[in-house]
Amino acid sequence: MPAEFVKALPILEKIRVSGYQAYFVGGSVRDVLLNRQIHDVDIATSAYPAEVKQIFEHTVDIGIEHGTVLVLAGDDTYEITTFRTEDVYVDYRRPSHVSFVRELSEDLLRRDFTINAFALANDGEIIDLYDGLTDLDKKILRAVGHPSERFNEDALRIMRGVRFMATLNFSLESETYEAMKRQAHLLAKISIERIFIELDKLLQADYWQKGFDALLAIDASAYLPGFSDKKALLSLLTLPKRFKFTNSVQAWGFLLHQLGYVDGKFLMKKWKVSREFATAITHFLSAYRKRQVAAFSLEDLYQHHLSSLLLVENLFEAQGLDTDFEHIAVLDKTLQIRDKKEIVVSAGEIMKQFSISPGPGIGKLFHEIEMAIVIGKLRNHPDDIFNYVRESSEYGSND
């Protein structure tokens, strides 16, 4: 067992000595079997939420209506969820009602894929009711039970499926694939925020192209904002098979560039991402277009920031295009300011020094000073800036 499970064993033991069953479940068990790093330790139990709260002194009700209680154990926290079955699903995402049960088998039946339906006992025994170990060995992604039922219950499982392909380098079992393709239209019922999370994880995975190809093959792209009528373009990604994106901005920026988007803000608004992320995408797209026609300039660095320039250059390198990382490094060392707030003289000080009245004129002058400093025409020093203003015909006589 990994250290994270060993550390949590006293939690399982305390539940068991109280007369209930308790197991490690979910993706963490799968990742242990694949020798992958685990992130969350999830525990399932036959104890009902009220009974869990009686067993442990320090708990928090984080999702008690769905059977989940957070147990505080020193500096660690563990989500303890009661075995449950789920009633009819509403909006293809959430069950209308959950029922707590005492049998592990009933709980595992509601899982999405066989490789996520394992339970691990405190003695190291793997409970595998759906032949997930065979699927794990064959690197196959297969839905638990009837695939159509699983995707009709929760259509987001379609996105999770292609994401698991990308992260684990697995292939889809044929019936699971056909069900995903038949029911891809149900993604239109799922909140775009949840779809974004899954697609974002897919794009940053080691085998993202495998997952993305599957996304296109099952026609899921037809139900994604901005992708619906662009399947042909999405099929022509000009990147090496094992290329891995550096981060989300690079991944989404490249996709939008391939789709012909000049400004990503409108489309990103449809995906309901943060304003900061949409702005970063816009900077990336602008930098990419500029790099296609010329080497980057100091003004490009100032406007789009070093991170965007490096992300673009990295993609140029991956596509076998000419690159010059050293040039970007020289620009970075040369640039005097990263923001106009770093200019050593304020607009107010200039107005006072030269008796300039408020108005659009001072804004225009300060912008000229800003860009002169950026391109290296003017040193960011009070004497130089005041001399720059003094030498202008409009304000020099006011000194």
Residues in the annotated binding site for CTP: 27, 30, 111, 154, 157, 160, 163
Mode of pairing for the β-strands spanning 119-120 and 22-25: antiparallel
Q: Which of 40, 35, 5, 37 is nearest to 22 (CA)?
A: 5
- Determine contact, residues 145/106, Cβ cutoff 8 Å: no
Binding site, annotated residues for Mg(2+): 40, 42
Q: What tokens does 70 get?
A: 């957070």
Q: What tokens does 123 get?
A: 């003695």
Binding site, annotated residues for ATP: 27, 30, 111, 154, 157, 160, 163
Q: Which of 301, 299, 267 is nearest to 282 (CA)?
A: 267
- Determine contact, residues 84/101, Cβ cutoff 8 Å: yes
| Total Cβ atoms within 10 A of residue 3 | 8
**CA trace torsion 380, 386, 390, 395 (10° rounding):** 100
Binding site, annotated residues: 27, 30, 40, 42, 111, 154, 157, 160, 163
Q: How far apart are CA 303 and CA 253, in angstroms?
A: 17
Mark 339-361 as b/e (b = at least 16 C-beta within 10 Å).
ebeebebebeebbebbebeeeee
